[in-house]
């Protein structure tokens, strides 16, 4: 693990942010007036500009259903950047960015919108005397993904002579296995896979990329990274927030689709995959696909033994009274949508056979924390047991994805004194103290990679298929189950039933 030394003032994170050459690019955001664009995409683009990472020649086009004047669009973009940027915004950088921005209003199935877009793109090219690469970013409601892709194909915007054309597709990619396959077919009937960048923003997080760095750049861990030494793995993605104003989306999705199918299974794939021979997009994704295919999908009948769902009830969060899920605005009073899900999964391959992977996620839990805890098996023999070494615990390696980014390893150590008494101590690495600058936001990394044409941190079509294959039977079982969904008080650790999932195997969840 890296440590900062007095003689090495260079900040390795900043070093990682070296300017990489990027072909001149026009980025087109469909859904540019939406929440994601305002909160995440525009601030990320601004920060890339701020760090000097955008291509030297860069244009931005917003497409959205809302009729609005160019000046209003620019004003709103400026406001969002000022409000949500990770770095303190510099007016001259914003001005430079917005001076290259255009707005195209219109509904997504209207061919005229695409004609107008084509004119805007061609005008940028003519003005500069070069052909810009084109990146179409679909940040709309998912029902528009196939509509936009089809229209791009029909209006001959899916490729461009002399430059690259790419399409970035936001989540959710599909609603279940069948709809994900349909969407993949629709996208791949217009674009080649190498042009397609399916977003999972967790893959853009520094700490998620660090899982591979940690596993494959240290000799120490890989020899024990298997069924012989690992007892079980717990992956937690707990959130303290409720669903806010997203009832329309969330009530149709639920925790399983919203977080498990994508982010959590991706974390698991990073933990379980075999080392790739190189870090090229396809080598990495080949290994991920292999391990995803090895995750045993339950049968619908097995689901009650391996999955638990819950819904938050009213409670207290950070000292404030908060309503239950069913009282949230826009949620039907009889909704059975889960806001919590816990699963017990297994990976049926040579390395992992028999090791349980416990996954849990939920809204309105005690705190926001995303972590992977790998518990090793206990030592086979305790020579100093007679001396009272009751404090010996199995080693635990915890990779904290957020918010306190880092890695910690628990070890047994002797308590100073005449007797051989042992207690667990922690060896820790924190991003905050080791690397002196703030990590880039996931979206900064991903937008940059899409512009560079590097798909390593994006989900390939066969990966999407494999992820839904694991989730599909659970969705089916929960849809068929007419019973009540367990309630858990907001601000707590989730439903008691989830504890049983581990208790019957003699284990407990890590405290939240
Ligand atoms: C999104 C989900 O994909 O991830 C949200 O739709 C969730 O419901 C969010 O809150 C969590 O992301 P992060 O980066 O805050 O952990």
Going by C-alpha positions, the residue among 366, 364, 367, 369 that lies closest to residue 487 is: 364
Going by C-alpha positions, the residue among 103, 170, 106 that lies closest to residue 138 is: 170
Q: Give the closest residue (by CA) to ligand 1 atom 10.
A: 239
Greatest C-alpha distance within the chain: 84
Rg, C-alpha atoms of the chain: 24
Give the ligand 1 atom nearest the CA of 202.
14
> pLDDT tens-digit profile of 393-444?
999 999 999 999 999 999 999 889 888 888 899 999 998 888 877 788 999 9
> pLDDT tens-digit profile of 218-255?
999 999 999 999 999 999 999 999 999 999 999 999 99
Give the ligand 1 atom nearest the CA of 241.
10
Is the distance from the beta carbon of residue 240 to the nearest atom of ligand 1 less than 6 Å?
no
> pLDDT tens-digit profile of 148-174?
999 999 999 999 999 999 999 999 999
3-state helix, strand, coil in the chain (%, to 5): 40, 20, 40
- Overall size of the chain counted in residues: 512
- pLDDT of 221 reads 95
Is the distance from the beta carbon of residue 206 to the nearest atom of ligand 1 less than 6 Å?
no
Is the distance from the beta carbon of residue 258 to the nearest atom of ligand 1 less than 6 Å?
yes
Compute the distance from residue 201 Cα to the ligand 1 centre, in Å.
9
Going by C-alpha positions, the residue among 155, 140, 60, 76 that lies closest to residue 107 is: 140
Is the distance from the beta carbon of residue 405 to the nearest atom of ligand 1 less than 6 Å?
no
CA distances from 5 to 10, 405, 437 (A): 10, 20, 15
Compute the distance from residue 471 Cα to the ligand 1 centre, in Å.
18
Give the ligand 1 atom nearest the CA of 402.
16
Instruction: Return d(Cα 58, Cα 100) in angstroms, integer.
Output: 7
Q: Which two tokens stand for residue 111?
A: 């061919």
Instruction: Return d(Cα 404, Cα 358) in angstroms, integer.
Output: 21
Mutate to test the pocket of ligand 1, among 259, 439, 443 (most ligand atoms within 8 A of CB): 259
Contacts with 454 (C-beta within 8 Å, 6 or more apart), sequence order: 281
Q: Give the closest residue (by CA) to ligand 1 atom 2.
A: 258
Give the ligand 1 atom nearest the CA of 368.
16
Going by C-alpha positions, the residue among 506, 413, 475, 498 that lies closest to residue 238 is: 498
Going by C-alpha positions, the residue among 188, 220, 180, 171 that lies closest to residue 411 is: 220
Q: Which two tokens stand for residue 51?
A: 């760090």
Compute the distance from residue 130 Cα to the ligand 1 centre, in Å.
38
Instruction: Return d(Cα 350, Cα 243) in angstroms, integer.
Output: 40
Compute the distance from residue 75 Cα to the ligand 1 centre, in Å.
27
Q: Give the closest residue (by CA) to ligand 1 atom 9.
A: 259
* Pure H helices in 189-229: 206-216
Compute the distance from residue 258 Cα to the ligand 1 centre, in Å.
8
254 φ/ψ angles, rounded to the nearest 5 degrees: 85, 165
Contacts with 52 (C-beta within 8 Å, 6 or more apart), sequence order: 19
Contacts with 158 (C-beta within 8 Å, 6 or more apart), sequence order: 152, 165, 167, 190, 191, 195
Compute the distance from residue 200 Cα to the ligand 1 centre, in Å.
10
Compute the distance from residue 289 Cα to the ligand 1 centre, in Å.
23
DSSP state of 494: -
- Residues annotated as catalytic are 263
Instruction: Return d(Cα 67, Cα 166) in angstroms, integer.
Output: 26
Do 398 and 235 touch, CB atoms closer than 8 A?
no
Pairing of strands 369-376, 230-238: antiparallel
Q: Which two tokens stand for residue 308?
A: 């638990």
The pTM score is: 0.94
Residue with tokens 């620019």: 74
Determine what percent of the chain is predicted with pLDDT higher than 70: 95
Instruction: Return d(Cα 284, Cα 454) in angstroms, integer.
Output: 12
Q: Give the closest residue (by CA) to ligand 1 atom 5.
A: 258
Give the ligand 1 atom nearest the CA of 370.
16
Q: Give the closest residue (by CA) to ligand 1 atom 13.
A: 202
Q: What is the pLDDT along the chain (512 residues), one digit of tens a residue?
A: 444 444 444 444 444 455 678 999 999 999 999 999 999 999 999 999 999 999 989 999 999 998 889 999 999 999 999 999 999 999 999 999 999 999 999 999 999 999 999 999 999 999 999 999 999 999 999 999 999 999 999 999 999 999 999 999 999 999 999 999 999 999 999 999 999 999 999 999 999 999 999 999 999 999 999 999 999 999 999 999 999 999 999 999 999 999 999 999 999 999 999 999 999 999 999 999 999 999 999 999 999 999 999 999 999 988 899 999 999 999 999 999 999 999 999 999 999 999 999 999 999 999 999 999 999 999 998 877 766 666 789 999 999 999 999 999 999 998 898 888 888 999 999 988 888 777 889 999 999 999 999 999 999 999 999 999 999 999 999 999 988 999 999 999 999 999 999 999 999 999 99
Instruction: Return d(Cα 113, Cα 19) in angstroms, integer.
Output: 34
């Amino acid at each position: 693990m890296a440590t900062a030394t007095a003689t090495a003032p260079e900040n390795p994170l900043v070093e990682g942010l070296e300017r990489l050459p990027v072909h001149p690019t026009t980025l087109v955001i469909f859904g540019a007036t939406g929440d994601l664009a305002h909160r995440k995409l525009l601030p990320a683009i601004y920060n890339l500009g701020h760090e000097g990472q955008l291509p030297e020649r860069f244009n931005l086009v917003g497409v959205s259903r809302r009729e609005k004047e160019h000046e209003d669009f620019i004003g709103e973009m400026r406001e969002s950047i000022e409000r949500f940027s990770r770095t303190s915004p510099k007016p001259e950088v914003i001005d430079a960015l917005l001076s290259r921005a255009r707005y195209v209003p219109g509904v997504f199935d209207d061919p005229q919108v695409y004609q107008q877009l084509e004119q805007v793109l061609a005008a940028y090219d003519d003005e500069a005397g070069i052909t810009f690469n084109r990146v179409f970013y679909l940040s709309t409601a998912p029902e528009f993904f196939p509509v936009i892709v089809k229209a791009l194909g029909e209006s001959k915007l899916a490729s461009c002579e002399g430059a690259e054309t790419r399409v970035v597709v936001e989540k959710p990619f599909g609603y279940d296995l069948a709809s994900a396959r349909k969407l993949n077919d629709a996208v791949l009937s217009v674009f080649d896979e190498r042009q397609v960048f399916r977003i999972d923003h967790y893959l853009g997080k520094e700490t998620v990329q660090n899982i591979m760095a940690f596993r494959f750049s240290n000799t120490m861990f890989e020899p024990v990274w298997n069924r012989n030494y690992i007892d079980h793995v717990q992956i937690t993605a707990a959130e303290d927030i409720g669903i806010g104003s997203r009832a329309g989306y969330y009530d149709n999705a639920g925790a399983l689709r919203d977080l498990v199918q994508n982010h959590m299974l991706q974390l698991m794939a990073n933990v379980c995959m075999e080392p790739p021979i190189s870090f090229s997009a396809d080598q990495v994704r080949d290994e991920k696909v292999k391990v995803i295919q090895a995750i045993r999908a339950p049968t619908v009948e097995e689901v009650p033994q391996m999955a638990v769902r819950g819904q938050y009830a009213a409670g207290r969060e950070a000292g404030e009274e908060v309503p239950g899920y069913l009282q949230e605005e826009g949620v039907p009073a009889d909704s059975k949508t889960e806001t919590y899900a816990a699963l017990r999964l297994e990976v049926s391959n040579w390395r992992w056979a028999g090791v349980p992977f416990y996954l849990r996620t939920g809204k309105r839990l005690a705190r926001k924390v995303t972590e992977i805890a790998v518990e090793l098996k206990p030592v086979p023999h305790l020579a100093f047991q007679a001396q009272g070494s009751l404090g010996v615990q199995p080693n635990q390696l915890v990779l904290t994805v957020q918010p306190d980014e880092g890695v910690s390893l628990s070890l047994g150590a002797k308590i100073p004194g005449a007797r051989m008494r042992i207690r667990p101590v922690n060896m820790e690495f924190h991003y905050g103290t080791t690397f002196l600058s703030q990590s880039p936001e996931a979206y900064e990394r991903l937008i940059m990679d899409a512009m560079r044409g590097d798909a390593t941190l994006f989900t390939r079509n066969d990966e999407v298929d494999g992820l839904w294959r694991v989730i599909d039977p659970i969705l089916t079982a929960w849809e068929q189950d007419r019973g009540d969904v367990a309630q858990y008080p907001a601000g707590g650790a989730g439903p008691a039933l989830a504890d049983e999932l581990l208790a019957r195997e003699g284990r407990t969840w890590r405290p939240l």
